[in-house]
Structure 1
Amino acid sequence: MITNNLNDIKSQLPENVTLVAVSKTKPIIDIQEAYDAGQRIFGENKIQEMVMKYDALPKDIEWHMIGHLQRNKVKYMAHFVDLIHGVDSFKTLQEINKQAKKHNRIINCLLQAHIAEEQTKFGLSFEKIREILSSEVLSELKNIKIVGLMGMATFTDNEKQLKKEFLSLNSLFSELQKTNEELIILSMGMSGDYQLAIACGSNMVRIGSSIFGSRNYIA
Protein backbone atom coordinates (compact mmCIF):
# COMPACT_ATOMS: atom_id res chain seq x y z
CA MET A 1 0.00 0.00 0.00
CA ILE A 2 2.71 2.47 0.99
CA THR A 3 4.69 1.85 -2.19
CA ASN A 4 1.60 2.30 -4.39
CA ASN A 5 0.52 5.46 -2.56
CA LEU A 6 4.01 6.90 -2.84
CA ASN A 7 4.29 6.16 -6.56
CA ASP A 8 0.84 7.62 -7.22
CA ILE A 9 1.71 10.88 -5.47
CA LYS A 10 5.14 11.16 -7.06
CA SER A 11 3.64 10.65 -10.52
CA GLN A 12 1.38 13.68 -9.93
CA LEU A 13 4.02 16.05 -8.58
CA PRO A 14 5.68 18.58 -10.91
CA GLU A 15 9.44 18.09 -11.32
CA ASN A 16 10.26 21.19 -9.28
CA VAL A 17 8.30 20.00 -6.20
CA THR A 18 10.09 18.10 -3.43
CA LEU A 19 8.16 15.49 -1.48
CA VAL A 20 8.73 15.20 2.26
CA ALA A 21 7.19 11.93 3.45
CA VAL A 22 5.84 12.69 6.92
CA SER A 23 6.66 9.57 8.91
CA LYS A 24 5.78 10.79 12.42
CA THR A 25 4.29 8.03 14.62
CA LYS A 26 5.03 5.46 11.88
CA PRO A 27 7.13 2.34 12.60
CA ILE A 28 10.54 1.65 11.13
CA ILE A 29 9.11 -1.03 8.83
CA ASP A 30 6.82 1.50 7.10
CA ILE A 31 9.62 3.98 6.58
CA GLN A 32 11.86 1.22 5.25
CA GLU A 33 9.18 0.29 2.72
CA ALA A 34 8.99 3.90 1.50
CA TYR A 35 12.80 4.00 1.41
CA ASP A 36 12.90 0.80 -0.66
CA ALA A 37 10.43 2.45 -3.05
CA GLY A 38 12.91 5.27 -3.60
CA GLN A 39 11.87 7.91 -1.05
CA ARG A 40 14.82 9.58 0.69
CA ILE A 41 13.32 12.61 2.47
CA PHE A 42 11.31 12.05 5.66
CA GLY A 43 9.74 14.49 8.09
CA GLU A 44 9.29 14.07 11.84
CA ASN A 45 7.74 16.37 14.41
CA LYS A 46 9.35 15.00 17.58
CA ILE A 47 13.11 15.08 17.97
CA GLN A 48 13.32 12.01 20.23
CA GLU A 49 11.41 9.92 17.68
CA MET A 50 13.51 11.25 14.80
CA VAL A 51 16.76 10.42 16.61
CA MET A 52 15.59 6.83 17.20
CA LYS A 53 14.68 6.43 13.53
CA TYR A 54 17.93 8.06 12.36
CA ASP A 55 19.89 5.50 14.39
CA ALA A 56 17.89 2.56 12.97
CA LEU A 57 17.56 3.46 9.29
CA PRO A 58 19.93 3.96 6.31
CA LYS A 59 22.21 6.96 6.63
CA ASP A 60 21.47 8.44 3.22
CA ILE A 61 18.03 9.50 4.45
CA GLU A 62 17.51 13.25 4.62
CA TRP A 63 15.69 14.06 7.86
CA HIS A 64 13.48 17.13 8.14
CA MET A 65 12.22 18.47 11.47
CA ILE A 66 8.71 19.69 10.69
CA GLY A 67 7.18 20.16 14.13
CA HIS A 68 7.32 23.02 16.59
CA LEU A 69 10.88 23.23 17.84
CA GLN A 70 11.86 23.41 21.50
CA ARG A 71 15.23 25.11 21.74
CA ASN A 72 16.50 22.85 24.52
CA LYS A 73 16.18 19.80 22.23
CA VAL A 74 18.07 21.12 19.19
CA LYS A 75 21.29 19.56 20.50
CA TYR A 76 19.92 16.04 20.05
CA MET A 77 19.52 16.35 16.27
CA ALA A 78 22.21 18.88 15.38
CA HIS A 79 24.60 16.19 14.16
CA PHE A 80 22.31 14.90 11.41
CA VAL A 81 19.17 16.99 10.67
CA ASP A 82 19.10 18.29 7.08
CA LEU A 83 16.35 20.91 7.21
CA ILE A 84 14.38 22.50 10.04
CA HIS A 85 10.99 23.74 8.81
CA GLY A 86 9.44 25.44 11.81
CA VAL A 87 11.83 28.17 12.94
CA ASP A 88 9.70 30.87 14.51
CA SER A 89 12.08 33.03 16.54
CA PHE A 90 15.53 34.59 16.28
CA LYS A 91 16.51 32.91 19.57
CA THR A 92 15.82 29.54 17.95
CA LEU A 93 18.11 30.45 15.04
CA GLN A 94 20.84 31.34 17.54
CA GLU A 95 20.46 28.00 19.32
CA ILE A 96 20.54 26.04 16.05
CA ASN A 97 23.68 27.95 15.07
CA LYS A 98 25.29 27.20 18.43
CA GLN A 99 24.60 23.47 18.20
CA ALA A 100 25.55 23.23 14.51
CA LYS A 101 28.89 24.87 15.29
CA LYS A 102 29.69 22.11 17.78
CA HIS A 103 29.42 19.58 14.97
CA ASN A 104 31.12 21.77 12.37
CA ARG A 105 27.94 21.79 10.27
CA ILE A 106 25.74 24.31 8.53
CA ILE A 107 22.07 23.54 9.16
CA ASN A 108 19.47 24.68 6.65
CA CYS A 109 16.38 26.39 8.09
CA LEU A 110 13.00 27.65 6.95
CA LEU A 111 11.32 30.57 8.69
CA GLN A 112 7.76 29.64 9.60
CA ALA A 113 5.23 32.29 8.67
CA HIS A 114 1.88 32.58 10.42
CA ILE A 115 -0.68 32.45 7.61
CA ALA A 116 -3.61 30.61 9.24
CA GLU A 117 -6.58 32.26 10.88
CA GLU A 118 -6.23 29.86 13.80
CA GLN A 119 -4.31 31.38 16.68
CA THR A 120 -3.00 27.95 17.70
CA LYS A 121 -0.67 27.73 14.69
CA PHE A 122 2.89 28.86 15.35
CA GLY A 123 4.74 31.26 13.10
CA LEU A 124 6.24 34.68 12.54
CA SER A 125 4.46 37.72 11.18
CA PHE A 126 5.52 38.79 7.70
CA GLU A 127 7.06 41.92 9.18
CA LYS A 128 9.13 39.89 11.64
CA ILE A 129 10.41 37.69 8.81
CA ARG A 130 11.49 40.78 6.87
CA GLU A 131 13.18 42.07 10.02
CA ILE A 132 15.12 38.84 10.63
CA LEU A 133 16.32 38.55 7.03
CA SER A 134 17.53 42.14 6.96
CA SER A 135 19.20 41.94 10.38
CA GLU A 136 22.95 42.50 10.50
CA VAL A 137 23.14 40.06 13.41
CA LEU A 138 21.95 37.26 11.11
CA SER A 139 25.19 37.40 9.12
CA GLU A 140 27.08 36.53 12.32
CA LEU A 141 25.34 33.14 12.48
CA LYS A 142 27.77 31.24 10.27
CA ASN A 143 26.43 27.75 10.98
CA ILE A 144 22.87 28.21 9.77
CA LYS A 145 21.47 29.02 6.36
CA ILE A 146 17.94 30.31 5.85
CA VAL A 147 16.87 28.69 2.59
CA GLY A 148 13.17 29.50 2.47
CA LEU A 149 9.81 29.88 4.13
CA MET A 150 7.21 27.47 5.53
CA GLY A 151 3.55 27.97 6.24
CA MET A 152 0.64 25.94 7.61
CA ALA A 153 -2.77 26.94 6.34
CA THR A 154 -6.00 26.97 8.32
CA PHE A 155 -7.53 23.53 8.90
CA THR A 156 -10.59 24.03 6.70
CA ASP A 157 -12.34 22.74 3.59
CA ASN A 158 -12.81 26.32 2.41
CA GLU A 159 -10.66 26.33 -0.72
CA LYS A 160 -11.00 30.08 -1.13
CA GLN A 161 -9.54 30.62 2.35
CA LEU A 162 -6.68 28.18 1.74
CA LYS A 163 -5.86 29.78 -1.59
CA LYS A 164 -5.75 33.24 -0.01
CA GLU A 165 -3.33 32.03 2.69
CA PHE A 166 -1.05 30.16 0.29
CA LEU A 167 -0.92 33.06 -2.18
CA SER A 168 -0.11 35.53 0.59
CA LEU A 169 2.97 33.50 1.57
CA ASN A 170 3.99 33.02 -2.06
CA SER A 171 3.80 36.80 -2.50
CA LEU A 172 6.10 37.36 0.49
CA PHE A 173 8.48 34.66 -0.78
CA SER A 174 8.69 36.31 -4.22
CA GLU A 175 9.29 39.69 -2.62
CA LEU A 176 12.10 38.42 -0.38
CA GLN A 177 13.79 36.45 -3.15
CA LYS A 178 14.65 39.73 -4.88
CA THR A 179 17.11 40.58 -2.10
CA ASN A 180 17.85 37.11 -0.68
CA GLU A 181 19.14 34.76 -3.37
CA GLU A 182 19.52 31.88 -0.89
CA LEU A 183 15.74 31.62 -0.51
CA ILE A 184 14.79 28.70 -2.76
CA ILE A 185 12.25 26.65 -0.78
CA LEU A 186 8.59 27.45 -0.23
CA SER A 187 7.18 24.66 1.96
CA MET A 188 3.37 24.68 1.87
CA GLY A 189 0.78 21.95 1.62
CA MET A 190 -0.03 18.67 3.35
CA SER A 191 -2.11 15.60 2.46
CA GLY A 192 -5.40 17.48 2.30
CA ASP A 193 -4.32 20.58 0.42
CA TYR A 194 -0.99 19.96 -1.31
CA GLN A 195 -2.35 20.18 -4.85
CA LEU A 196 -3.79 23.63 -4.17
CA ALA A 197 -0.55 24.64 -2.43
CA ILE A 198 1.46 23.63 -5.51
CA ALA A 199 -0.89 25.63 -7.73
CA CYS A 200 -0.19 28.59 -5.42
CA GLY A 201 3.60 28.29 -5.76
CA SER A 202 4.74 25.67 -3.26
CA ASN A 203 7.84 23.70 -4.23
CA MET A 204 7.97 21.45 -1.15
CA VAL A 205 5.02 19.47 0.22
CA ARG A 206 4.73 17.54 3.49
CA ILE A 207 2.57 14.45 2.97
CA GLY A 208 1.91 11.81 5.60
CA SER A 209 -1.49 10.11 5.74
CA SER A 210 -1.86 9.95 1.93
CA ILE A 211 1.31 7.82 1.89
CA PHE A 212 1.27 5.89 5.17
CA GLY A 213 -2.42 5.89 6.07
CA SER A 214 -3.92 7.34 9.25
CA ARG A 215 -1.55 8.34 12.01
CA ASN A 216 -0.69 5.98 14.85
CA TYR A 217 -1.13 8.10 17.94
CA ILE A 218 1.29 7.12 20.66
CA ALA A 219 0.09 7.66 24.22
Structure 2
Amino acid sequence: MAVNTKAFLEINEQLQAQQVTLVAVSKIKPAGDIQELYDLGQRDFGENYVQELAEKHLLLPNDIRWHFIGHLQSNKVKYIAPFVHLIHGVDSYKLLLEIDKQARKFDRVIQCLLQVHVAQEETKFGFNEIELMEAMDAIHKYKLLNELRNVEVVGLMGMASFTDDVEQLRKEFKYLKLLFDGCADLPWNTQFNTLSMGMSGDFKLAIEEGSTMVRIGSLLFGARQ
Protein backbone atom coordinates (compact mmCIF):
# COMPACT_ATOMS: atom_id res chain seq x y z
CA MET A 1 0.00 0.00 0.00
CA ALA A 2 1.30 3.42 -0.96
CA VAL A 3 1.01 6.53 1.16
CA ASN A 4 -2.64 7.31 1.92
CA THR A 5 -2.62 10.95 0.87
CA LYS A 6 -6.32 11.44 1.51
CA ALA A 7 -6.07 10.11 5.07
CA PHE A 8 -3.03 12.28 5.76
CA LEU A 9 -4.74 15.47 4.60
CA GLU A 10 -7.88 14.72 6.62
CA ILE A 11 -6.02 13.75 9.79
CA ASN A 12 -3.55 16.62 9.50
CA GLU A 13 -6.32 19.18 9.10
CA GLN A 14 -8.14 17.78 12.13
CA LEU A 15 -5.04 17.78 14.32
CA GLN A 16 -3.97 21.28 13.30
CA ALA A 17 -7.42 22.56 14.30
CA GLN A 18 -6.96 20.89 17.70
CA GLN A 19 -3.35 22.10 18.03
CA VAL A 20 -2.09 18.52 18.29
CA THR A 21 1.25 17.56 16.73
CA LEU A 22 1.20 14.69 14.25
CA VAL A 23 4.24 12.41 14.29
CA ALA A 24 4.12 10.24 11.16
CA VAL A 25 5.53 6.86 12.18
CA SER A 26 7.69 5.87 9.23
CA LYS A 27 9.54 2.83 10.59
CA ILE A 28 10.29 0.18 7.94
CA LYS A 29 8.92 2.51 5.27
CA PRO A 30 11.11 3.63 2.35
CA ALA A 31 12.55 7.12 2.11
CA GLY A 32 10.35 7.76 -0.91
CA ASP A 33 7.18 7.41 1.18
CA ILE A 34 8.55 9.85 3.76
CA GLN A 35 9.46 12.29 0.99
CA GLU A 36 5.90 12.08 -0.32
CA LEU A 37 4.46 13.19 3.01
CA TYR A 38 7.23 15.78 3.37
CA ASP A 39 6.17 17.29 0.05
CA LEU A 40 2.65 17.62 1.47
CA GLY A 41 4.01 19.62 4.41
CA GLN A 42 4.67 16.98 7.07
CA ARG A 43 7.85 17.60 9.07
CA ASP A 44 7.65 15.34 12.15
CA PHE A 45 8.54 11.69 11.55
CA GLY A 46 8.97 8.88 14.09
CA GLU A 47 11.38 5.96 13.88
CA ASN A 48 11.91 2.93 16.13
CA TYR A 49 15.33 1.68 15.08
CA VAL A 50 18.58 3.61 15.46
CA GLN A 51 20.36 2.35 12.36
CA GLU A 52 17.32 2.91 10.15
CA LEU A 53 16.86 6.42 11.52
CA ALA A 54 20.53 7.32 10.95
CA GLU A 55 20.34 6.12 7.36
CA LYS A 56 17.14 7.99 6.57
CA HIS A 57 18.52 11.17 8.13
CA LEU A 58 21.27 11.16 5.49
CA LEU A 59 18.84 10.57 2.61
CA LEU A 60 16.11 13.08 3.41
CA PRO A 61 15.76 16.88 3.86
CA ASN A 62 17.62 18.46 6.77
CA ASP A 63 14.59 20.26 8.19
CA ILE A 64 12.77 17.04 9.08
CA ARG A 65 12.17 16.80 12.84
CA TRP A 66 13.12 13.22 13.68
CA HIS A 67 11.45 11.61 16.69
CA PHE A 68 12.92 8.45 18.19
CA ILE A 69 9.91 6.56 19.50
CA GLY A 70 11.29 3.07 20.16
CA HIS A 71 13.11 1.52 23.09
CA LEU A 72 16.51 3.24 23.12
CA GLN A 73 19.60 1.49 24.46
CA SER A 74 22.21 3.70 26.12
CA ASN A 75 24.99 2.51 23.82
CA LYS A 76 23.02 3.62 20.74
CA VAL A 77 22.38 7.22 21.80
CA LYS A 78 25.60 8.47 20.19
CA TYR A 79 24.35 7.58 16.71
CA ILE A 80 21.31 9.88 16.83
CA ALA A 81 22.56 12.58 19.22
CA PRO A 82 23.83 14.87 16.40
CA PHE A 83 20.39 15.38 14.87
CA VAL A 84 17.43 13.84 16.75
CA HIS A 85 14.67 16.34 17.57
CA LEU A 86 12.79 14.52 20.35
CA ILE A 87 13.39 11.22 22.16
CA HIS A 88 10.05 9.83 23.32
CA GLY A 89 10.93 6.76 25.31
CA VAL A 90 13.28 7.77 28.13
CA ASP A 91 12.51 5.00 30.60
CA SER A 92 15.43 5.24 33.03
CA TYR A 93 17.52 7.91 34.68
CA LYS A 94 20.64 6.18 33.36
CA LEU A 95 19.43 6.75 29.79
CA LEU A 96 18.73 10.43 30.48
CA LEU A 97 22.29 10.92 31.74
CA GLU A 98 23.69 9.25 28.62
CA ILE A 99 21.61 11.49 26.35
CA ASP A 100 22.96 14.51 28.21
CA LYS A 101 26.52 13.22 27.81
CA GLN A 102 26.20 12.63 24.07
CA ALA A 103 24.34 15.89 23.43
CA ARG A 104 27.14 17.80 25.15
CA LYS A 105 29.62 16.47 22.56
CA PHE A 106 27.65 18.23 19.83
CA ASP A 107 26.81 21.34 21.85
CA ARG A 108 23.11 20.54 21.56
CA VAL A 109 20.15 20.40 23.90
CA ILE A 110 18.05 17.32 23.16
CA GLN A 111 14.41 17.36 24.14
CA CYS A 112 13.10 14.22 25.85
CA LEU A 113 9.88 12.69 27.11
CA LEU A 114 9.78 10.37 30.10
CA GLN A 115 7.95 7.15 29.26
CA VAL A 116 5.34 6.03 31.78
CA HIS A 117 4.03 2.47 31.97
CA VAL A 118 0.23 2.71 31.96
CA ALA A 119 -0.77 -0.40 29.97
CA GLN A 120 -1.82 -3.78 31.29
CA GLU A 121 0.88 -5.59 29.28
CA GLU A 122 4.10 -6.21 31.17
CA THR A 123 6.12 -6.04 27.96
CA LYS A 124 5.85 -2.26 27.66
CA PHE A 125 8.61 -0.11 29.15
CA GLY A 126 8.39 2.96 31.37
CA PHE A 127 8.40 4.45 34.85
CA ASN A 128 5.67 3.71 37.33
CA GLU A 129 4.20 6.62 39.30
CA ILE A 130 6.67 6.43 42.19
CA GLU A 131 9.66 6.09 39.87
CA LEU A 132 8.41 9.04 37.82
CA MET A 133 8.25 11.30 40.85
CA GLU A 134 11.72 10.17 41.93
CA ALA A 135 13.06 10.94 38.45
CA MET A 136 11.48 14.39 38.44
CA ASP A 137 13.02 15.12 41.83
CA ALA A 138 16.45 13.96 40.63
CA ILE A 139 16.20 16.10 37.49
CA HIS A 140 15.43 19.15 39.61
CA LYS A 141 18.41 18.52 41.88
CA TYR A 142 20.75 18.11 38.92
CA LYS A 143 19.44 21.30 37.33
CA LEU A 144 20.10 23.19 40.58
CA LEU A 145 23.70 21.96 40.36
CA ASN A 146 23.86 23.32 36.80
CA GLU A 147 24.09 19.79 35.43
CA LEU A 148 21.90 18.04 32.86
CA ARG A 149 22.36 21.16 30.75
CA ASN A 150 22.09 19.31 27.45
CA VAL A 151 18.74 17.63 27.94
CA GLU A 152 15.34 19.21 28.41
CA VAL A 153 12.54 17.00 29.69
CA VAL A 154 9.46 18.52 28.06
CA GLY A 155 6.75 16.01 28.88
CA LEU A 156 5.55 12.42 29.12
CA MET A 157 4.87 9.59 26.72
CA GLY A 158 2.80 6.47 27.21
CA MET A 159 1.41 3.52 25.27
CA ALA A 160 -2.04 2.26 26.15
CA SER A 161 -3.01 -1.39 26.28
CA PHE A 162 -3.53 -3.29 23.04
CA THR A 163 -7.28 -3.67 23.44
CA ASP A 164 -10.63 -2.71 21.92
CA ASP A 165 -11.98 -1.89 25.39
CA VAL A 166 -12.65 1.84 25.09
CA GLU A 167 -13.17 2.31 28.81
CA GLN A 168 -9.83 0.66 29.59
CA LEU A 169 -8.07 2.90 27.07
CA ARG A 170 -9.80 5.98 28.43
CA LYS A 171 -8.82 5.02 31.99
CA GLU A 172 -5.16 4.68 31.00
CA PHE A 173 -5.11 7.97 29.09
CA LYS A 174 -6.79 9.77 31.99
CA TYR A 175 -4.20 8.40 34.39
CA LEU A 176 -1.31 9.51 32.18
CA LYS A 177 -2.84 12.97 31.85
CA LEU A 178 -3.17 13.17 35.64
CA LEU A 179 0.53 12.36 36.04
CA PHE A 180 1.41 14.87 33.32
CA ASP A 181 -0.54 17.63 35.06
CA GLY A 182 1.16 16.84 38.35
CA CYS A 183 4.60 17.16 36.78
CA ALA A 184 3.65 20.29 34.85
CA ASP A 185 2.46 21.97 38.07
CA LEU A 186 5.88 21.72 39.69
CA PRO A 187 6.96 25.38 40.05
CA TRP A 188 10.43 24.81 38.58
CA ASN A 189 9.20 22.75 35.64
CA THR A 190 8.44 25.50 33.13
CA GLN A 191 9.17 23.58 29.89
CA PHE A 192 6.70 20.74 30.45
CA ASN A 193 4.24 21.03 27.56
CA THR A 194 4.11 17.76 25.60
CA LEU A 195 1.94 14.71 26.27
CA SER A 196 2.57 12.06 23.62
CA MET A 197 -0.16 9.44 23.70
CA GLY A 198 -2.37 7.92 21.05
CA MET A 199 -1.65 5.92 17.90
CA SER A 200 -3.55 4.94 14.75
CA GLY A 201 -6.22 2.94 16.56
CA ASP A 202 -6.85 5.20 19.54
CA PHE A 203 -5.59 8.72 18.76
CA LYS A 204 -9.04 10.33 18.77
CA LEU A 205 -9.72 9.00 22.26
CA ALA A 206 -6.25 10.11 23.40
CA ILE A 207 -6.91 13.64 22.16
CA GLU A 208 -10.21 13.71 24.05
CA GLU A 209 -8.20 12.92 27.19
CA GLY A 210 -5.60 15.65 26.65
CA SER A 211 -2.93 14.37 24.26
CA THR A 212 -0.86 17.08 22.56
CA MET A 213 1.06 14.72 20.25
CA VAL A 214 -0.02 11.54 18.47
CA ARG A 215 2.04 8.88 16.71
CA ILE A 216 0.28 7.59 13.58
CA GLY A 217 1.73 5.06 11.17
CA SER A 218 -0.59 2.51 9.56
CA LEU A 219 -3.34 5.03 8.72
CA LEU A 220 -0.80 7.01 6.68
CA PHE A 221 1.62 4.40 5.33
CA GLY A 222 -0.43 1.20 5.46
CA ALA A 223 0.12 -1.81 7.67
CA ARG A 224 3.66 -3.13 8.12
CA GLN A 225 4.52 -6.20 6.09
Q: What is the TM-score normalised by the length of structure 1? A: 0.96
Letter in 2 for 1:61: I
Q: What is the TM-score normalised by the length of structure 2? A: 0.94
* Contact 1:65–1:84 (8 Å) recurs in 2: yes
Match of 2:57 in 1: 54
Residue aligned with 2:94, SS? helix
1:165-214, Cα deviation, whole Å (9 max, x unpaired): 00001011111111122110000000000000000000000000000111
* Contact 1:20–1:42 (8 Å) recurs in 2: yes
* Contact 1:2–1:33 (8 Å) recurs in 2: no
1:178 aligns with 2:178: no
Match of 2:117 in 1: 114
Match of 1:10 in 2: 12
* Contact 1:44–1:67 (8 Å) recurs in 2: yes
Alpha-carbon distance between aligned partners in 2 of 1:138 and 1:64, rounded to the nearest angstrom: 25
Contiguous gaps of at least 5 residues in structure 1 = none
1:113-152 equivalences in 2 (<5 Å): 113-135=116-138, 136-139=140-143, 140-152=147-159
Shift of 1:137: 4.3
Match of 2:34 in 1: 31
Alpha-carbon distance between aligned partners in 2 of 1:186 and 1:125, rounded to the nearest angstrom: 16
1:187-198 equivalences in 2 (<5 Å): 187-198=196-207
Match of 1:167 in 2: 174
Alpha-carbon distance between aligned partners in 2 of 1:175 and 1:80, rounded to the nearest angstrom: 30
Match of 2:24 among 21, 25, 29: 21
Contiguous gaps of at least 5 residues in structure 2 = none
Residue aligned with 1:161, SS? helix
Residue aligned with 1:109, SS? strand
Alpha-carbon distance between aligned partners in 2 of 1:60 and 1:46, rounded to the nearest angstrom: 20
* Contact 1:106–1:143 (8 Å) recurs in 2: yes
1:98-109 equivalences in 2 (<5 Å): 98-109=101-112
How many equivalent pairs are there?
216
1:157 aligns with 2:164: yes
Shift of 1:134: 1.4
Match of 2:215 in 1: 206
Shift of 1:11: 2.0
Alpha-carbon distance between aligned partners in 2 of 1:215 and 1:9, rounded to the nearest angstrom: 20
Q: Root-mean-square deviation (CA), in Å?
A: 1.0
Alpha-carbon distance between aligned partners in 1 of 2:132 and 2:45, rounded to the nearest angstrom: 26
Alpha-carbon distance between aligned partners in 1 of 2:130 and 2:206, rounded to the nearest angstrom: 22
Residue aligned with 2:102, SS? helix
Q: Report % sequence identity.
A: 56
Letter in 2 for 1:36: D
Shift of 1:8: 1.3
1:34-64, Cα deviation, whole Å (9 max, x unpaired): 0001100000000100000000000000000
1:84 aligns with 2:84: no
